[in-house]
Amino acid sequence: MTSVGPRASALHRDPLGTMDESLEELIAYRNRLRSYTSEELEDIYYNIHVLRHPMKYRLVQMELERRRLYPTTQGYVPPRPINLAAMAQQVPLLARHATIRAGLVAAAYFALTSLSTLAVLAPMWLCAVPFRLRGVQAALVYLVWLPLGPVVAFRWAQRLGASGAFAVAAMLGAATGCAWFASWGALARVIASLGQSGGSGGGLFSF
């Protein structure tokens, strides 16, 4: 439980601790809340007796919302977003060598985006090459699918803290993943399918 400051504690010594608080008293209480700092408001929020002061508790919530302050549940620490560069900074050996640390982090972003690009595009390769699902309609689906690989991979890298030079490494990794995918032969099959009529079946896919 957080400690209550001297000004905020005055509100807890207020004799108005019942359910039948008058409108005038609640208006005065609201006006007093507006004169308190954000820290004092959070003290009150975490220490006020909800059952004894239900209306006052709601007024505190309303004042916090008015200031766009959203206190979390006591004892709960919201998870911090993962940042590879910050994690590397916490490694003692890497913390002393900035150049090596930056190189390793950039390589990590490069590898992650390369592999994730391939992972997103792998089903496309399975459909186009081993399963031989081709044709004009299928090729159009593949062409819509193709940009998802690098886009998803880069967005994932950004969620892991890729920015600045690390964002460039992530983009290069996504481009490399696309190049690897093209070397598998699926992209050539898709492009070739655009010149096909759809096969004898005339359906969505030709074999």
Residue boundaries of the structural domains of the chain: 6-66, 84-193
Residue 2 has pLDDT above 90, yes or no: no
pLDDT in tens, 58-72: 888 888 888 877 655
Residue 133 has pLDDT above 50, yes or no: yes
Average pLDDT on 11-29 reads 64
Query: In the block, which residue shows the tokens 């004009």?
Result: 136
Q: How confident is the model at residue 95 (pLDDT cuts 50, 70, 90)?
A: confident
Average pLDDT on 131-157 reads 88
Closest by alpha carbon to 125, among 171, 170, 169, 177? 177
Average pLDDT on 12-39 reads 72
The secondary structure of the chain as a DSSP string is -PPPPHHHHHHHT-S--STT--HHHHHHHHHHHTTS-HHHHHHHHHHS-TTT-HHHHHHHHHHHHHTT--PPPTT--PPPPP-HHHHHHTSHHHHT-HHHHHHHHHHHHHHHHHHHHHHHHHHHHHHHTTS--BSHHHHHHHHHHTTHHHHHHHHHHHHTT--THHHHHHHHHHHHHHHHHHHTTHHHHHHHHTTS--TTT-SS-B-
Query: In the block, which residue shows the tokens 């090596």?
Result: 100
Token representation of residue 137: 């309609």
Best mean pLDDT range from 38-47, 66-75, 89-98, 158-167: 158-167
Residue 81 has pLDDT above 80, yes or no: no
Lowest pLDDT segment from 97-101, 126-130, 192-196, 202-206: 202-206
Residue 151 has pLDDT above 60, yes or no: yes
